[in-house]
């Protein structure tokens, strides 16, 4: 079977041993993944000519693309949740944030900590989502501040995903 971890011109992924990586996912180049994180089915994390840093206890759900283009460092902060089919291209995501289903973040965009990017939203190049903000729309705009309960909801959803990852590690054996 082909490995999920792909070395590209000497640049290889660095993944903490506790991380779950679905066998159908690919981590290519200078991709770093922190302790307790999970990369689910069919996701691709690419950093052939950039750097990609995934924090601790991050869940990247099915069919996501996270790419660090040439010369760019992309960071996904600790305890972030990147939902199904999201695209993060040259953008940064703050800790304890949620990127919703099918959302797209373009080059230079920044999502502040404890924020939510709504499903289907488009965060344009260079746009900054302030901390604890809900951003939605195409193009996205700030909708309102998040409540403490909504931030706690992000963490509950994250915890559910990470528990599933532990079960899948048992099924697939390790990574």
CATH at 49: 2.160.10.10
- Calpha distance 7→27 (Å, rounded): 9
The predicted pLDDT at position 174 comes to 60
Strands 104-105 and 116-117: unpaired
1 pLDDT band (50/70/90 cuts)? very low
Q: Mind listing the pLDDT tens digit for each residue in 109-126?
A: 999 999 999 999 999 999
* Cα 65 from Cα 15, distance rounded (Å): 17
pLDDT category at 173 given cuts 50, 70, 90 is confident
- The domain total for the chain is 1
The whole-number pLDDT of residue 155 equals: 98
Residue 175: per-residue pLDDT = 57
Name the pTM for this structure. 0.95
Domain span at residue 21? 5-172
DSSP lists the bridge partners of residue 105 as: 88, 123
> Cα–Cα distance between 69 and 142 in angstroms, integer?
26
Cα distance between residue 84 and residue 87, in whole Å: 9
66-121 confidence digits (pLDDT tens)? 999 999 999 999 999 999 999 999 999 999 999 999 999 999 999 999 999 999 99
List pLDDT tens digits, range 7-62: 999 999 999 999 999 999 999 999 999 999 999 999 999 999 999 999 999 999 99
């Amino acid at each position: 079977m082909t490995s999920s971890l792909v070395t590209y011109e000497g640049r290889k992924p660095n993944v903490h041993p506790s991380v779950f990586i679905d066998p159908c996912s690919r981590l290519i180049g200078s991709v770093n993944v922190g302790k307790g994180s999970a990369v689910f089915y069919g996701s691709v994390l690419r950093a052939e000519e950039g750097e990609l840093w995934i924090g601790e206890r991050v869940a990247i759900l099915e069919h996501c693309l996270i790419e660090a283009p040439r010369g760019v460092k992309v960071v996904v902060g600790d305890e972030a949740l990147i939902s199904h089919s999201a695209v993060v291209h040259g953008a940064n995501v703050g800790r304890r944030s949620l990127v919703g289903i099918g959302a797209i973040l373009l080059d230079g965009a920044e999502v502040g900590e404890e924020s939510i990017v709504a499903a289907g939203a488009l965060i344009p190049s260079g746009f900054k989502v302030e901390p604890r903000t809900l951003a939605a729309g195409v193009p996205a705009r700030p909708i309102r501040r998040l409540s403490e309960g909504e931030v706690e909801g992000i963490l509950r959803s994250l915890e559910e995903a990470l528990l599933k990852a532990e079960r899948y590690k048992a099924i697939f054996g390790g990574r």
